[in-house]
Amino acid sequence: MNTMNDFYQNGPELQNTFDSDMFLKNYLKNNIPAEYHQQIFEHLQKVGALAATTWAQWAAEAEAHPPKLTTFSPWGKRIDQIEISNGWKQLEKAAATEGLIAIAFERKQKEFSRVYQMALLYLFAPSSAFFSCPLAMTDGAARAIELDGDENLITRAFKKLTSRDPEKFWTSGQWMTERTGGSDVSGTSTIAKAAGENRFTLEGTKWFTSATTSQMALTLARTENAEAGSRGLSLFYLELRDENNNLNNIEVHRLKEKLGTIALPTAELTLTGTPAIMIGKPGEGIKRIASVLNITRVYNSICALGHMRRALDLAWDFAQKRKAFGQFLIDHPLHKKTLSDLEVIFQRCFKLSFFVVKLLGKEECGIANEQEKILLRALTPIVKLYTAKKCILVSSEAIEAFGGAGYIEDTGLPRLLRDAQVFSIWEGTTNVLALDFLKVCQKESVLPLLAEILKSNPQSLQLQDKKWQESENARELAFLVAELVIESIT
């Protein structure tokens, strides 16, 4: 005889994440030329299946076995060895094999290559245990070297960063944060000492370094006798290990214990004479790192978007199998409306994110006009701050849709909220990005341009209000611009 004690609730399940995503499919059909459809759709369908199965399993393994630092060998030799899980290693191989970096730089789909690549990232990221983080910095480093690297760096690093061969593929770190602060790099105290033609050794402590198991990193440092502040900073390329696979005069003090992203190796370390090569000219560090930040901020947006999609996929699936008050959750009008409202937020974020991605693709292929270039510079901080904040909101509502199960660790659901918080912190907090946008406005006369573009929307007239010139209004302005641009995208 069946009793209530015989009941066990089935948890949410993933289907092929490309097949189930009609919004993505329709977007690609309408925004990529038909000549590329078959290749792209076949690839994304394959990736959608992996994201729902094998990659998700590898990600779970990576989360269950976070990085571990061994500082000394049993005999007392300092080794600073970071051990990572097999799942993390397999995700790295998958990223190379599927061309997650290569697609953007091969540009076989011309200006649509970035849309293709970011659609791939969007599917990969939620099942990657945040391997998307080193990918973001790898992509940014590849772009910086493509723009400003010499022939040696093109041969040595760029080809590895963009390789499809897992045995040759490199990832990159981005080491900017010191004890003096994160976004404010003007207090950078790392010193670069001359050691030959364009060769330097670096000395200084980096308080927060992501992807510390990468083969290379880009970092800011100050050459000897350089002026104080950000104008005295230069950009440097370094490799973590020498030809004997020993750390290149780098001491790893500890791995950071974080709220989320626990599979991602994040370390505090000191450079003790680490060999480095300058990229660009002395004092151009902020200018040169801008190309990296443009890429990593777009990545942040796409990964936040993928995170929202995953949270909603799980919530929708659960709503069709969980009964309460005599019917499935999906049949309760208020529950269905709640999920539908979250879906609208996601779709608005999707439209804004891929609008910026299209601009990036055009700019990299040299076909963006001046108006589009200005829009790209202006909207890159906007899309990052907007999608990050919306991701936190959607993730919180999504785990609430599971009731108590959403608060239980071994369901895996609380991770959705913990991990979501990082999107508003990485690559500049909301206020920092809002002020970045305000700087672009003041330099490029962005607001009159936006008002002209958005003139069909009566709200755009607000952009001419002088109050926006004050920094304390920058955050409000940023969100207003995001909403107006979304409304204008067909």
Token representation of residue 47: 């990736």
> Is a pLDDT exceeding 80 seen at residue 415?
yes
Q: What is the CATH code of the structural domain delimited by 172-283?
A: 2.40.110.20
List pLDDT tens digits, range 4-55: 678 899 999 999 999 999 999 999 999 999 999 999 999 999 999 999 999 9
Domain parsing of the chain, residue ranges: 22-161, 172-283, 286-488
Measured distance CA(218)–CA(221) in Å, rounded: 10
Interatomic CA distance for residues 219 and 118, integer angstroms: 25
CATH superfamily membership of 286-488: Butyryl-CoA Dehydrogenase, subunit A, domain 3 (1.20.140.10)
Q: What percent of the chain has pLDDT over 90?
A: 89
d(C-alpha 19, C-alpha 14), whole Å: 11
Question: Is residue 399 predicted with pLDDT exceeding 70?
Answer: yes
Q: Tell me the two tokens of residue 220.
A: 């800011």
Question: Model confidence over 191-238: pLDDT tens digits?
Answer: 999 998 889 999 999 999 988 999 999 999 999 999 999 999 999 999
Provide the pLDDT confidence category of residue 182 given band limits of 50, 70 and 90.
confident
Residue range 270-285: mean pLDDT, rounded: 96
Q: Quote the pLDDT of residue 3.
A: 58
Q: What is the pLDDT of residues 325-357, one digit of tens each?
A: 999 999 999 999 999 999 999 999 999 999 999
The separation between CA 149 and the C-alpha centre of its own chain, rounded to angstroms, equals 23
pTM here? 0.96
**Considering the chain, what percentage of its residues have pLDDT values greater than 70?**
99
Question: Residue 441 pLDDT > 80, yes or no?
Answer: yes
Q: Are 44 and 123 in contact (CB under 8 A)?
A: yes
